[in-house]
Chain A
C-alpha cells in the first residue's frame, strides 16, 4: 500500500512543460518512467496477472496470463507512441479526461485519467492518472492496470486514488493555489 510521501520532486516529461510526473520520496525514478518500465517488463506483468487472474477472467474473459502480458505490451506501445508523437500545438486534453465519469465541469487541480487503446480484442486496461495543473498542463501521479469497474474495488487502484489526493493536497498545502488564474481559465473555457 502506498504511504504518504513527505517530500515530492517533479520531473518534466515533455520538454515544453505541459506534462510532469511526481517523483515520490524514496523512489529512484518518477512515477511515469516507472509505469512504462513495468508495462514492458514481462516478468512483472506475468506476476501482476497471476495475482489478478480472477479479475482478468471475470471482466475480460482471458484465462491465459501470457495473452494478457502481450496485450498489455501492445497497449503500452500504442499509448507510448501517442505520447511520443504529441506535437507542441496538440491539446493534451484530448488524451486526459476527468477521472470521475459523472463530472462535466472543471475543478481546481482536477483529477484526470488517460486511457490506452485496448485494440480490437477488449477494452483498454492501462490508465495514467494525473492532476490537471492548468489548461493543457498535467502532473502525472501514477497509473494502473485497471481490471475492475471501479478503482475502489482493488487495493492497487485504491492506492492510486490515495496518491492523487495526496499530491493534490501537497500542492495546495504548498500554496499552489492560483484562484485568479483558475477563474481566468474557467472564463476562457466558457468563452471557447
Chain B
C-alpha cells in the first residue's frame, strides 16, 4: 500500500460517506421524484411571478419555513394534502385540471388547517 493510501486511511472521518446509499435511493425512487420536481418547479415559478417568499408561503400553508425550505429542494415525497395546500396557498393548478377532466364536478379544495410535518 502506498504512503498516500495509508495516510488517507489513517485520517478517515468518523462519519462515512452516505453518497452510495443516497444515490441508490435516488435511482430507486426516480419514478416519483420526477413528480416532486415537477411540483416544486411549478411552485417556484408561481412564487417568482407573485413575489411570494418562503416565509409567506409557510404562513399561508400554516407550517414552518423549514418545512417549506425542505419541500422546495424538490425531493420531498409530498402527501396529497400538501399538494392541495400548495395549490390553495398560491392559487395554482397542479392536479386540479387533471382531476376534473372527464368529471362533471370539480373536486373541492381541502379546508385550511395546519399541515402535519
Contacts and interface: CB of A to CB of B under 8 A. Distances in A.
B11 to A, nearest CB: 6
A84 B27 CA distance: 10
Interface residues of B, number: 32
Given A42-B74, A80-B23, A134-B4, A32 B17 contact: yes
A13 B23 CA distance: 12
Chain B interface, DSSP helix/strand/loop, else mixed: helix
Q: By CB atoms of chain A within 10 A, which of B5, B9, B27 has the most? A: B5
B22 to A, nearest CB: 7
A81 B19 CA distance: 12
Contacts of A13: 17, 19-20
B5 A36 contact: no
B24 interface: yes
Interface in A163-183: 171, 174-178, 181
B8 A139 contact: yes
Nearest to B9: A17
A81 B22 CA distance: 12
Interface residues of A, number: 43
Q: Which 8 A-B residue pairs are closest in the complex by CB-CB distance?
A: A42-B74, A9-B13, A11-B17, A178-B3, A133-B4, A43-B72, A23-B13, A10-B8
26 contacts: A10-B8, A10-B13, A11-B16, A13-B19, A20-B8, A30-B13, A33-B17, A33-B18, A33-B22, A41-B75, A42-B40, A42-B72, A43-B69, A44-B73, A69-B41, A77-B30, A80-B23, A80-B26, A81-B27, A83-B23, A133-B2, A134-B2, A171-B4, A177-B3, A178-B4, A181-B2
